[in-house]
């Protein structure tokens, strides 16, 4: 697997797209505002490894066509409802990589919310059609950390959650291409830990907040789970 679709690339999504493209993973971008999609593509193209494709899709359905993993990087709640509703059965057989935090952008600034389900990840789980895998990563990281902490020696840990071992086994190799050390840390019920204010977000590691190395992360969360298929 050497490609990913990024839906709704704002600052965080564009950084994630740049991380993948800079490590040779082809990226397809879609934003409902074509101007924002082109701006994101221009940024990602400057970071991409030579020979890596960075494309802009005309619509959300064509963006996910042929992809195994689709990263949903919109704001949470209503935008997620809209995108997942538009895609419907087009998501079946794919994995949705959820990077959301329960934050609203308002005229007064960013406001935290407390989802009735317990976390933004658990909220997203209620929206997904059957036959769609659900993974969660990158929610614990500040945008500026996503690329700046890649490729350190030793690697910084990128914790991720998955709704099943099958999903974890599919998404882990893709995350391993980013210059981070992916760490399967549990199922979607643990989403609060990987979101703003959770223990994977607040822990201080070798490279600063939310960026432990393997020994530090193991002391926090235990051994990595083994994904069996």
Query: Which residue in 66, 65, 69 sits closest to 87, CA to CA?
Result: 65
The predicted model scores a pTM of 0.94
pLDDT at 167: 97
Structural domains of the chain in order of their starting residue, each with its CATH number: 3-221 (3.40.50.720)
CA distance 85 to 20: 26
Asked if pLDDT for residue 86 goes beyond 80, the answer is yes
* Token pair recorded at residue 43: 């940024």
Q: Which of 3, 36, 23, 32 is nearest to 14 (CA)?
A: 36
Q: What pLDDT score was predicted for residue 227?
A: 74
pLDDT tens, 129-140? 999 999 999 999
pLDDT at residue 229, rounded to an integer: 59
DSSP, residue by residue, 144-184 = HHHHHTTT-SSPPEEEEEESSHHHHHHHHHHHGGGTSEEEE
What does the chain come to in residues? 229
**What local confidence, expressed as pLDDT, does residue 104 receive?**
67
The per-residue pLDDT for 113 is: 75
Specify the range with the lowest mean pLDDT, choosing from 45-54, 99-108, 121-130, 152-161: 99-108
pLDDT digits (tens, 9 = 90+) for 171-225: 999 999 999 999 999 999 999 999 999 999 999 999 999 999 999 999 999 999 9
Q: How far is CA 70 from CA 55, 74, 208, in A?
A: 14, 12, 29
Instruction: Answer whether 142's CB lies under 8 Å from 11's CB.
Output: no
């Amino acid at each position: 697997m050497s490609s990913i679709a990024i839906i709704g690339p704002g600052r965080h999504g564009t950084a994630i797209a740049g991380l993948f493209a800079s490590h040779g993973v082809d990226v397809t971008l879609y934003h409902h505002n074509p101007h924002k999609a082109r701006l994101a593509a221009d940024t990602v193209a400057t970071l991409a490894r030579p020979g890596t494709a960075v494309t802009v899709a005309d619509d959300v359905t064509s963006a996910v066509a042929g992809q195994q993993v689709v990263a949903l990087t919109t704001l949470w709640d209503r935008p997620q409802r809209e995108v997942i509703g538009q895609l419907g059965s087009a998501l079946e057989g794919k994995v949705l990589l959820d990077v959301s935090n329960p934050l609203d952008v308002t005229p007064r600034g960013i406001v935290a919310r407390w989802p009735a389900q317990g976390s933004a990840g658990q909220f997203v789980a209620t929206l997904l059609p059957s036959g769609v895998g659900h993974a969660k990563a990158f929610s614990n990281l500040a945008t500026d950390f996503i690329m700046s902490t890649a490729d350190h020696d030793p690697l910084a840990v990128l914790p991720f959650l998955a709704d099943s071992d099958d999903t974890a086994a599919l998404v882990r190799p893709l995350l391993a291409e980013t210059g981070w050390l992916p760490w399967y840390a549990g199922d979607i019920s643990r989403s609060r830990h990987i979101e703003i204010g959770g223990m994977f977000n607040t822990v201080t590691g070798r490279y600063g907040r939310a960026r432990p190395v393997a020994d530090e992360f193991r002391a926090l969360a235990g051994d990595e789970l083994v994904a069996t298929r």
